[in-house]
Amino acid sequence: MAANEALLIIDYTNDFVHDDGALTCGAAGQALESSIIALADQFAADGSWVILPTDVHTPNDPYHPESKLFPPHNVRNTWGREFYGQLKPWFAQHQDDAQVYMYDKTRYSAFAGTDLDLRLRERHINTLHLVGVCTDICVLHTAVDAYNLNYNVIVHQDAVAALTPAGQEWALGHFEHVLGAQVV
């Protein structure tokens, strides 16, 4: 990886991936695990940035728009918000690495209400590799914002999953044909 590239592992948590998760992609999300870990290992070994924007909520928040759309999920300090599978020990092993960090996000996009754009620009990053879940929700909204902020976007199709096959297919087409993203 080049110094100007970063891997964003979006919302790969128990609530979105585990069979018992509150809002799970299930088997489709679980199938991504080895691809996500391989990419994380590759980026970390190259000294490139590995960033983990992770959804966080408080239960029954009447002001959060998702409260009307989805069951409670990714509640702070719960099992549901913990990283899924091998990402949990991977992050524990790498969390003190200078170029690995996790941060809270409260909206679909990893950019909304966060300092992600500022951090990327400070580090001269102009290309984002997107992986995680859900392809047609948080990965999509992050890609839209990245596009609008003039980042190059690369979506790893074997490392993203949606709640439904139709959502997956639609989002992959949207990345490529509307956002000009590279789908690899």
- Per-residue model confidence (pLDDT) at position 139: 98
- Per-residue model confidence (pLDDT) at position 101: 95
Rounded to whole angstroms, the Cα distance separating 118 from 108 reads 18
State the CATH number of the domain containing residue 87. 3.40.50.850
Q: What is the mean pLDDT of the chain?
A: 94
The tens digit of pLDDT for each residue in 16-59 reads 999 999 989 999 999 999 999 999 999 999 999 999 999 998 88
128-146 per-residue burial string, b: 16 or more CB within 10 A, e: under 16: bbbbbbbbbbbbbbbbbbb
- Number of structural domains in the chain: 1
Cβ count within 10 A of residue 126: 15
Map tokens 């290992």 to a residue: 41
Range of the domain at 14: 5-183
Closest CA to 52 of 64, 44, 61, 60: 44
Rounded to whole angstroms, the Cα distance separating 11 from 83 reads 8
Intervals of the chain under pLDDT 70: 1, 64
Phi-psi region of 60 (alpha: psi -120 to 50; beta: other; left: phi over 0): left
pTM listed for this prediction: 0.95
